[in-house]
């Protein structure tokens, strides 16, 4: 579903990604861990072209992201074409980014109605099912300010699912939550995994990575240091840098 080939990304003189190579299979839960500043979130944002890569190739479902290739050269796609690619990739951020003046239901139906031109009736019916799926059927008419952080994040997940994505990206979805609210969001993500959704999850929740993840990579300083089965990497890391990081977080 996702293939990265020698992906580089710089901000000015600072090289944040230094040649990322990895593959994510269809239906896989792919976890990315590492210290702050290692390039995890930047890589995630490159997958849906929120950040433009400086070198390499990124493919989603066999399609080059953000560019078209002709004669070995890359040409950037027009904004409209990039937006069309993004429709198929759901993203859930650390901060929930809900529209504060809209109810939970209105937040969920906004993109299908405005972007996919779905009828409001159909979008509303589907949104209610999605809110029920994330355990918030009774909060459809609540505004974000009336919801807890965990509830807002679950609305954000429902909103991403409303576009019927083939891939879901999660950028530390529980890091802004109070500890007792983390579980309710992870439970929703477990459900998505059981339903076969392809997910790339940047996370500090090592228990989730060990229990739900199919693959795990440890990133540091813009490179993949170690990768493999989450239980093996977390339980018996081979690389000294991975050992040092895990000794602080496990």
Among residues 214, 206, 167, the alpha carbon closest in space to that of 186 is found at 206
Percent pLDDT > 90 in the chain is 95
Q: State how far the Cα of 203 lies from the Cα of 41, in Å rounded to an integer.
A: 10
Q: What is the pTM of this model?
A: 0.95
Among residues 23, 60, 40, the alpha carbon closest in space to that of 172 is found at 40
- 63-64 and 215-220 strand pairing: unpaired
pLDDT number for residue 72: 84
pLDDT number for residue 238: 96
Where does 77-222 show beta strands of DSSP type E?
89-92, 167-171, 198-202, 215-220
pLDDT number for residue 175: 92
Low-confidence spans in the chain with pLDDT less than 70: none
pLDDT number for residue 131: 97
Q: State how far the Cα of 101 lies from the Cα of 18, in Å rounded to an integer.
A: 41
Continuous segment of H or E residues that includes residue 22: strand 14-24
pLDDT number for residue 111: 95
């Amino acid at each position: 579903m996702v293939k990265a080939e020698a992906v580089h990304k710089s901000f000015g003189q600072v090289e944040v990604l230094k040649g990322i190579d990895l593959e994510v299979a269809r239906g896989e839960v792919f976890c990315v861990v590492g210290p702050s500043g290692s390039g995890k979130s930047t890589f995630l944002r490159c997958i849906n072209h929120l950040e433009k890569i400086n070198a390499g190739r990124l493919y989603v479902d066999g399609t080059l992201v953000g560019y078209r290739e002709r004669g070995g050269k890359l040409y950037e796609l027009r904004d409209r074409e990039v937006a069309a690619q993004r429709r198929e990739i759901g993203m859930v951020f650390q901060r929930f980014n809900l529209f504060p003046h809209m109810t939970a239901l209105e937040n969920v139906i906004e993109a299908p109605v405005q972007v996919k031109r779905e009828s409001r009736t159909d979008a509303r019916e589907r949104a209610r099912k999605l809110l029920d799926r994330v355990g918030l059927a009774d909060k459809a008419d609540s505004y974000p300010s009336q919801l807890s952080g965990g509830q807002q994040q679950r609305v954000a997940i429902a909103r991403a699912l409303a576009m019927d994505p083939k891939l879901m990206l999660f950028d530390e979805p529980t890091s802004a939550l109070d500890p007792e609210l983390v579980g309710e969001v992870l439970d929703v993500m477990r459900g998505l995994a059981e339903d076969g959704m392809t997910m790339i999850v940047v996370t500090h929740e090592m228990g989730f990575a060990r229990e739900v993840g199919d693959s795990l990579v440890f990133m540091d300083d813009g490179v993949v240091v170690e990768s493999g089965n989450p239980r093996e990497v977390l339980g018996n890391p081979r690389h000294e840098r991975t050992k040092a990081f895990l000794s602080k977080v496990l």
